[in-house]
Chains A and B, each alone.
Chain A
Amino acid sequence: MARAVVTVPAQAKRGEIIEIKTLAAHAMETGFRRTQTGELIPRDIIRTFTCTYNGVEVYRVELHPAIAANPLIAFTTVAIESGTLSFQWVGDNGYSATEIAPIRVE
């Protein structure tokens, strides 16, 4: 159900700025569209995305209905130490997805 993909370099030099790309499979229903019979389709979006690096939050995004379906979020972080990067998406109707990526820092 809740599917997500992240791209993180497997290893990096200490202090290097690494690029991270994330993609979550989600329709991001805006709540402004109507069915053919005129009923409003209720909103169903991902509201927040957070990236934590060894337990410390490094990047947080608040999403609104104006974000396209299957939200792509690309950003950077500093490779400080070896460990794990964890990504979490939380949304309407109890949507939640988590992804973990290991990183080796030399």
Chain B
Amino acid sequence: MRTTRREFLILTAAALAAPTAAKAQLDPNLAANRKAAFQEALRRIVGDAQVRRGRVKLVLPPLIDNGNSVPLSVAVESPMTEADHVRAIHVLTEKNPLPDVVSVRLSPRAGRATLSTRVRLADTQTVTAVAQMSDGSFWSDSAEVVVTLSACLEEGLI
């Protein structure tokens, strides 16, 4: 069967339009999905408890060239005694493919509630640290980071 000129044009146009349309649809959803994933991850950690700002200090450089290795440190104010200590520290991101970055479980034996590590950031975004105290309360701190070269590039982000 021979393809007529009209059929050929329609097919070509459809083939060209398909990936563009898919990409255009993907992008707005992606941002919303990641936001939802962040909220979900936060809820999984804190449940229905209220998260207050303070006591936690999250240190990140405000501007980073390479998102593949960003120095991050968290320090939580706490006497670290048996009666009053930090039970866990969680770090979450809003725009990475997965919201979770790192979780730490502590006991008074840690002496100080601190963590220093290096993380990957996929985009310019807000990073949040949440600390769970032994009395069940949650405290948090956020830091904004501008990333020039993103880590873990995917089609959705380019």
Chain B window 98-112, contacts with chain A (Cβ cutoff 8 Å), 1 for yes, 0 for no: 101111111111111
Interface residues on A, range: 20 to 34
Interchain CB contact under 8 A, A32 and B97: yes
Complex partner residue of B152 from A30, A53, A60, A78, CB under 8 angstroms = A30
User: B residues engaging A (CB < 8 A)?
Assistant: 68-70, 73, 93, 96-98, 100-112, 114-121, 151-154
A5 CB contacts on chain B under 8 angstroms: none
A74 to chain B, nearest CB (A): 4
- Judge whether A71 is part of the interface by a CB distance below 8 angstroms: yes
Q: Which of A54-91 contact B (CB under 8 A)?
A: 56-69, 71-78, 80
Interchain CB contact under 8 A, B116 and A74: yes
Q: 24 pairs across A/B with beta carbons < 8 Å?
A: A17-B111, A17-B112, A30-B97, A30-B152, A59-B106, A59-B110, A60-B104, A61-B115, A62-B103, A66-B101, A66-B102, A66-B119, A66-B120, A67-B118, A68-B69, A68-B118, A69-B68, A74-B115, A74-B116, A75-B114, A75-B115, A75-B116, A76-B110, A76-B114
User: A residues engaging B (CB < 8 A)?
Assistant: 17-18, 30, 32-34, 53, 56-69, 71-78, 80
Q: Is the interface of A mostly helix, strand, loop or mixed?
A: strand
Of all chain B residues, the one with the shortest Cβ separation from A28 is: B120
B144 to chain A, nearest CB (A): 17
> How far does the alpha carbon of A66 sit from the alpha carbon of B107 in the complex, in Å?
24
A59 CB contacts on chain B under 8 angstroms: 104-106, 109-110
> With A30-B152, A60-B104, A62-B103 given, is the CB distance from A69 to B69 under 8 Å?
yes
Interchain CB contact under 8 A, B103 and A61: yes
A56 CB contacts on chain B under 8 angstroms: 109
A83 to chain B, nearest CB (A): 13
B154 CB contacts on chain A under 8 angstroms: 32, 34
A65 CB contacts on chain B under 8 angstroms: 97-98, 120, 152
> How far does the alpha carbon of A30 sit from the alpha carbon of B69 in the complex, in Å?
13
B83 to chain A, nearest CB (A): 16
Interchain CB contact under 8 A, A71 and B109: no
> How far does the alpha carbon of A32 sit from the alpha carbon of B70 in the complex, in Å?
18
